[in-house]
Amino acid sequence: MRLVAGKSFALVVDIQERLFPFIHDNEALAARCVMLIRGLRVLEVPIVVTEQYPKGLGKTIAPICEAVANEPCIEKMTFSCCGSDEVEARILAMAKHQVIVMGIEAHVCVLQTVLDLRQQGQTAIVVEDCISSRRENDKRIAIERMRDVGAIITTAESLLFELLERAGTDTFKEISKLVK
């Protein structure tokens, strides 16, 4: 299945201040997520940002907030983004069925969101280098499970070029600068 920018939106799941320092390879994760978000903005792909219990886990980390241009964060208490009425309403209002998923933790909120998206018939695109957990093994097992339910597993750079579709444009030049 080809991924198309006009049929896609992105979900940035719970990349928050108090949990982030404990995430495996967190600095690389932040850099890849920021790069992907900037690329998605160039491609005009809408972005939804969630925060799991921000009173306890803090706000979304600053680099992500800056990259999404201060897109409002939707607070949730359920692990799955689809369990939140407000997030679910935003997802349905998008009327787009290719959901690009990035965030933490891979084996909890990301996994449960992807399971629910798939159950709803949505195409879940999990960006492997833009998700993580505290432990590498938890991420690995979560990716296996998401793949088993039909999620598409990809990388940030691969996804951006697939959504871009063609070279030789100003948009291509902008994306190329981001991935270098």
7 is catalytic: no
Point out which residues pair with 140 in neighbouring strands: none
Q: How far apart are CA 118 and CA 46, in angstroms?
A: 20
173 is catalytic: no
Q: Which of 76, 81, 116, 129 is catalytic?
A: 76
Q: How far apart are CA 173 and CA 153, in angstroms?
A: 25
The SS3 call for residue 80 is coil
Q: Which of 81, 109, 130, 139 is catalytic?
A: 109
Q: Which of 20, 11, 132, 150 is nearest to 81 (CA)?
A: 11
Q: How far apart are CA 174 and CA 176, in angstroms?
A: 5
109 is catalytic: yes
Helix axes 170-179, 156-164, angle to 10 degrees: 180
Q: Which of 14, 81, 129, 139 is catalytic?
A: 14
Q: How far apart are CA 142 and CA 114, in angstroms?
A: 10
Q: How far apart are CA 70 and CA 42, in angstroms?
A: 16
- Which residues are marked as active site? 14, 76, 109
